Amino acid sequence: MPIQPEDQPPREQPFVVKLGGSLEVHAPTLAAVFRQQSRPLLIVPGGGWFADTVRNQALNDDEAHWTAIRAMDRFGSLLATFGLPSTERLAIPSKPTILLPYRCCREFDPLPHSWDVTSDTIAAWVAGTLMTDLLVLKSVDGIPADDRSDRAIVQNVETDVVDPCFIPYILKHGIRATVINGTLPDRVAAFLRGEAVPCTRIGTTF
């Protein structure tokens, strides 16, 4: 069932938001939703078609890892053209801000260099490091099971909605994650207002 308002953190509590690259066409509207928030949001961009280009190159694992994270920076710079500030600093911002993750990932190098790790798990690492909840925006209605996507996940499941490392990382590090359909900006806005929306929750502390 949809997450209930009483399950939501206070409206002033910060969120890390993963904005999937497949949502590029919706980026202007989503950026407008983010700009209206008083809640601090650190927005982690996906790689989108920039990362798809990297996949098609004959790169070793290390080269592919860092080039794909560079692709996240490129998508983040694109998102910034819709009126959101950007930062390379791994910190909770005072207002909705886009994280360009290459610099901090280079500094800490926290994750395996593999295509099993994408911007999904990088966003989870950011949320875990900053001790915030994570909102994951995808182009689907959450993570389906038994023809339903409204569910709570408390153990690893196989899915192609997020990368293979994402759910194990969330569960291991005690992060609270919520997956929402980002093609519906009104639904994203409602969630950020604390309203019940269709979603998938991942974690053991909801």
Residue among 108, 120, 106 nearest 168 (CA): 120
Strand order across the 97-99 sheet: 86-87, 97-99, 41-45, 15-19, 133-138, 177-181, 200-202, 151-153
Q: Which residues pair with 18 in a beta bridge?
A: 44, 136
Q: What is the CATH number of the domain that holds 59?
A: 3.40.1160.10
Tell me the residue range of the domain where 20 lies. Answer: 5-202
Residue 57 and residue 63: Cα distance in Å, rounded?
10
Quote the pTM value.
Answer: 0.90
Q: How many domains does the chain have?
A: 1
Please give the structure tokens belonging to residue 103.
């610099």
**Which alpha helices (DSSP H) does the chain contain, by range?**
27-35, 48-55, 61-80, 102-108, 119-130, 166-172, 185-192
Write down the pLDDT at residue 179: 96
7-43 pLDDT tens trace: 445 557 899 999 988 899 999 999 999 999 989 999 9
pLDDT for 80: 95
Q: Which of 77, 96, 83 is nearest to 188 (CA)?
A: 96
pLDDT at 187: 96
